Amino acid sequence: MLYVLHTIRLLSPAALFRLASAINQYGVNLMTLLNFAARTYGQKIAIVDEREMLTYNQLFAQSEELSIVFRDRYQLGSGKKAGLICKNHASLVKAIYAVSLSGADLYLLNAEMSETQFNNILERHDFDLLVLDEDRSELLEQSSYKKSAIWSYHDTLPAINNLSSISSYKKRKRYRNSTSKLVLLTGGTTGKAKEAAHQPSLFNYLNPFYDFLLRLKILNYDTAYIATPIYHGYGAAVLLLFCALGKKVVIHRGFDAENACRLIREHQVEVVTVVPLMLHKMLKTNASDLKSLACIASGGAQLNPKLVKETRDQLGDVLYNLYGTSEAGLNIIATPQDLAYSANTIGRKIKGVLLQIVDNNKEEVEFDRIGQLCIKNRWSMRNETATWIETGDLGYRDKHGYYFLCGRSDSMIVSAGENVYPLEVEQVLLSHPHIEDAAVIGIPDEHFGERLKAIVHLAPHADTTEEALIQWLRPRLARFQLPKEIIFVDHLPYTLLGKMDRKLLK
């Protein structure tokens, strides 16, 4: 632990004083981290979006002022709840720190949720304040929500961008608390959201913090672009990490491949967070704009082996694969060298992670046997009663300590008494030179109980038939893995977080 603190320059007398002073003034919350960053990095650029560029001093001052507005005007404090429905922009970043300082629990909500999903969340959570983008005004209009709301940006109405019109800010005694929790709602676009609450704690997060720094060589770089949504746990974690390190973080309201390539070129971005679909689109749009990248941190969805090879061929050994969940946080990392060992691996577990692979009877299986990944660590969610967190992901560990995913537990089918994992068949299909993308689902079968159906998107100008693909698959798959049917489509459905939308597939 001392080596970790030394590596991130927290062991010098001056750094320890700044950290102790921040904790003494603000308690243990996210604003404590930002205060330490402002004291340490001051005039360095912290956040850049399409509207503004803020130094660490400016970001801290404006976030602290916003927190006073939240407490004085909107009565936020311990025991209260604030929901943020925002895309990536500076106002969202300010609100994250401000809510945490107020003592209220901070809920990062999916900015793309439907009215039905929003109303379902309101039934379970009595929010005291909502911060939302103006283009989501229909959520309020069509809901039963009657409490306070503030816009992220607005020309005339109370909004974070016009603090002077809503704030009676004066220098006053600082607030101090250690009660705020950061709450993520998983499954926000495709199903009923599940809560994952995390309590800010420097020491609990040292292991994932350090492994992320070490394996991805983050200390070597100065500028990062968070292309993934901050309301997703992955984006939020990287934002907070880079704040602690004094890096410049580039963000943008939404992802567009052409714009993303431009941002990377203009800011000479060295580190970017993506889901695989984003990386695929950027490489297809303008790979030459990505030459400054030294670290592409991919997470949130399974990597396509073709994408691994394409990235290596065009940009070199810069691709990293991160595995984590909203409940359990970051747990496994694959470096470029790990991906050279196998393009399908999610890597090796990080220090401090206890990981079991168990069968249906909750018994741990041997290596190379498939089971459910169950995780225990110090930085997992705090609102679970069980010691081990069941991820719902199926996978296995090989004899060299590398982990591999085989899909979700609810995607496995039983065909003629055999367990069949659609992801394994997908990975074989994706190795075909004429296939751009593929998905495999289970369908009812009169004789086998269930069989597989493959949905295939061919590469541009490629041509093949169902019969030809079945013949190609025969020597590569077991008989019970062969799809009963293969259909061809122009595109496959993905969620806004870059995951295959299997509900739409079915």
List the structure tokens of 43: 């005039």
The reported pLDDT for the residue numbered 453 is: 95
Q: What is the b/e burial string over 1-37, where b = at least 16 CB atoms within 10 angstroms of the residue's CB?
A: eeebbeebebeeeebeebbeebbeebbbbbbbbbbbb
Alpha-carbon distance 440 to 502, whole Å? 9
Alpha-carbon distance 333 to 345, whole Å? 9
The reported pLDDT for the residue numbered 189 is: 43
Altogether, the residues listed in the chain come to a count of 506
List the structure tokens of 1: 């632990």
User: What mean pLDDT is predicted for residues 469-475?
Assistant: 96
The reported pLDDT for the residue numbered 24 is: 63
Which is it for strands 413-415 and 403-408: parallel, antiparallel or unpaired? unpaired
Reported confidence tier of residue 188, pLDDT bands at 50, 70, 90: very low
The reported pLDDT for the residue numbered 22 is: 65
Task: Count CB-CB contacts under 10 A for residue 464.
Answer: 17
pLDDT tens digits for range 390-446: 999 999 999 999 999 999 998 899 988 889 999 999 999 999 999 999 999 999 988
- Counting DSSP H helices and E strands in the chain, the numbers are 16, 24
Least confident of 205-214, 358-367, 445-454: 205-214
At residue 266, φ and ψ (nearest 5 deg) are -65, -40
Contacts (Cβ under 8 Å, ≥6 apart) of 13: none
Alpha-carbon distance 391 to 483, whole Å? 27
The reported pLDDT for the residue numbered 383 is: 42
User: What mean pLDDT is predicted for residues 177-191?
Assistant: 66
Please report, to the nearest 10 degrees, the dihedral formed by the alpha carbons of residues 154, 157, 159, 162 taken in order. 80
SS3 label, residue 459: coil
* Confidence (pTM): 0.88
Alpha-carbon distance 411 to 400, whole Å? 27
- Under 8 Å between Cβ of 415 and 375: no
Least confident of 47-61, 63-77, 372-386: 372-386
Across-strand partners of 250? 48, 225
Alpha-carbon distance 327 to 332, whole Å? 14
Given a cut of 70, is residue 175 above it in pLDDT? no
Given a cut of 60, is residue 173 above it in pLDDT? no
Task: Count CB-CB contacts under 10 A for residue 504.
Answer: 11
Q: What is the DSSP letter of 364?
A: B
Reported confidence tier of residue 490, pLDDT bands at 50, 70, 90: very high
Given a cut of 80, is residue 133 above it in pLDDT? yes
Least confident of 153-162, 179-188, 256-265, 476-485: 179-188
Given a cut of 50, is residue 151 above it in pLDDT? yes
- Under 8 Å between Cβ of 255 and 280: no
Given a cut of 60, is residue 126 above it in pLDDT? yes
Q: What is the DSSP letter of 351?
A: T
Given a cut of 90, is residue 236 above it in pLDDT? no
Share of the chain above pLDDT 90, in %: 64
pLDDT tens digits for range 70-95: 999 999 999 999 999 999 999 999 99
Alpha-carbon distance 385 to 381, whole Å? 10
Least confident of 201-210, 427-436, 484-493: 201-210
